[in-house]
Amino acid sequence: MEDCLFCKISKGEIPSTKVYEDDDFFAFKDINPVAPVHVLVVPKKHIANIASLTAEDADIAGKMLYAIQKVAHILDLDKDGYRVVFNTGEKAGQSVLHMHAHILGGKEMAWPGV
Ligand code: 5GP
Ligand code: ZN
């Protein structure tokens, strides 16, 4: 989608620190990390957020969890664990309308944290 920041990053049109890429997904370091490890995983297909998924997106949505697992492994987070966050919509604080998973790790995290 034109004028979408994460579409441009996933195409390499805007620079980022890439962590992982395959045919369907792109993962890169968050520019403003809130944890020692903070990486974003995005589908290359433009989907605004979980709320706008359609039945047609079910395959990519399922594959995204598996991509997140792979990225967490690359980041060496398997043993200690990690948090995965999908901010969805305005009140959840979603600022970029291209679906993305935050992978957060490298520190002890409290829960609930809302
Ligand atoms: P949201 O608030 O939509 O859940 O998350 C968007 C995330 O994208 C934020 O954590 C923000 O720091 C990150 N971000 C925004 N612009 C850029 C950018 O140009 N490059 C990178 N690497 N991250 C960005
Ligand atoms: Zn997009």
The structural domains of the chain, with segments of one domain joined by +, span: 5-105
Domain 5-105 in CATH 3.30.428.10: yes
- Report the C-alpha gap between 89 and 94 in whole angstroms: 5
Query: Does residue 51 have its Cβ closer than 6 Å to ligand 1?
Result: no
How high is the pLDDT of residue 67?
A: 98
pLDDT of residue 1: 83
The pLDDT value recorded for residue 2 is 85
Looking from the CA of residue 93, the nearest atom of ligand 1 is: 2
pLDDT reported for residue 114? 72
Spell out, as residue ranges, where the chain has pLDDT lower than 70: none
**Cβ neighbours of 98 (radius 10 Å):** 21
Q: Which is the catalytic residue, given 46, 73, 98, 100? A: 100
